[in-house]
Structure 1
């Protein structure tokens, strides 16, 4: 999943949003920010593909938006703080959107977070696990 090639690129299941990812996802994140405007949200809901064509997104980014594939959107440079604007258009909570990136239901995800979140075991640098 991680497309970074930095010293932090070997953290399992983690894509670090750094300067490279910000550049990669700039237009994707600008699209997401446009959804803060009610008229833009309505236009997006009426014809998602046409609305996405207003932005110079890659085909992969467009497909990930249409599929609401948040894991892929992060890998393509999306920042979760911007991406939740998409789920808000769908009437989903942040927890519901984030839970789609796990193998948990929304309620299971919320329960996990209420109980301290995921264990760090198995989620550290790969070099630390050897």
Structure 2
């Protein structure tokens, strides 16, 4: 994070806003994910994930995040949740699976679902980075 960036959303912990900068950063990653809309591409990726990823200009970090299915890293590296979810669907996962996997608490799918039904994460400590620094 750039400490001189004045955009307020940069101060919200765990928030990866898909702005122009993020879009440019994640273009290749998102195009890979979008490619999974096509049945033939899914078959090629299933047969040779590394070889298929070679056809996209992914950074080493993006490639590792895809292969490890590190959902949160994909978002940090420019992934758009709607595109990265295509990879989750490829794996037979639901949005609850991905949400639980991205949780800092390492929640199970059932725990994540219960938290969301109960109203989501608590606001305390999650408002801004500045708020955390003031105790």
Shift in Å at residue 69 of structure 1? Answer: 0.4
Alignment-derived partner of residue 69 in structure 1: 70
Question: TM-score of the superposition, structure 2-length normalised?
Answer: 0.88
2-structure distance, mates of 1:87, 1:11: 25
Shift of 1:6: 4.2
State how far apart, in whole Å, the 2-side matches of 1:115 and 1:48 are.
38
Report SS of the residue matched to 2:112.
Answer: helix
| Structure 2: runs of 5 or more not aligned | none
Shift of 1:21: 0.3
Among 101, 106, 112, the alignment partner of 1:109 is 112
How large is the Cα RMSD of the aligned pairs? Answer: 1.7
**1:82-93 mapped onto 2 (5 Å cutoff):** 82-93=83-94
Name the counterpart of 2:34.
Answer: 33
- Residue pairs, 1:2-81, within 5 angstroms: 5-7=5-7, 8-81=9-82
How many residues align structurally?
129
In 2, Cα distance between equivalents of 1:19 and 1:6? 15
CA offsets per residue over residues 67-109 of structure 1, 9 Å max, x none?
0001111110001111011111111112112210112101111
